[in-house]
Amino acid sequence: MNIQDQIQIIKTKMPETYKAIQDREKGVTDVIDGKRVTVIPVYGAEVYALVRRGLRGEPNCFWAMEAGYVMGTPFNMPTVSRDIAWYMVSFGCLHVCTFPLLPSEVTNGTH
């Protein structure tokens, strides 16, 4: 299946996944304890490049599951796949949409 067909399935059959992609583009903030905090960081247009790379078969870019559809390529980092499986089973996830961390989200040790 070509990438455009896969994107069309995401847009029409995987609404929560499509919303998650859009949220990653713009970022999401919320007020917690009176302070506005970033809940989902802004990826900008890079999110669409990550989706396309995952749809082409590149691991560690994008993977999603919703309504019986699976799109993208699994992450090949053992703890990521293990943790996703645990959350899906433990919480009965109806959809999962996975992206890599942005360099600004990566922490060093305890920082």
Q: State the average pLDDT over residues 11-27.
A: 94
- The string of pLDDT tens digits covering residues 29-69 is 888 899 998 888 888 889 999 999 999 999 999 999 999 99
Q: What is the pTM of this model?
A: 0.82
Is residue 111 domain-resident? no
Is residue 61 domain-resident? yes
- Percentage of the chain lying above the pLDDT 70 cut: 92
State the pLDDT at residue 104.
Answer: 65
For residue 55, CA distances in Å to 11, 35, 45, 61, 104 come to 14, 37, 16, 9, 24
Q: State the average pLDDT over residues 3-21.
A: 97
Is residue 49 domain-resident? yes
Residue 1 has pLDDT above 80, yes or no: yes
Give φ, ψ of 11 to 5 degrees: -65, -35
Rounded CA gap, 20 and 62, in Å? 11
Q: State the average pLDDT over residues 7-20.
A: 97
Is residue 17 domain-resident? yes
Determine the structural domain holding residue 27 and report its residue range.
3-100
Is residue 109 domain-resident? no
Is residue 108 domain-resident? no
Is residue 11 domain-resident? yes
Number of domains in the chain: 1
Q: State the average pLDDT over residues 91-98.
A: 88
Instruction: Name the nearest CA neighbour of 62 among 93, 100, 106, 24.
Output: 100
Amino acid at 55: L
Is residue 30 domain-resident? yes
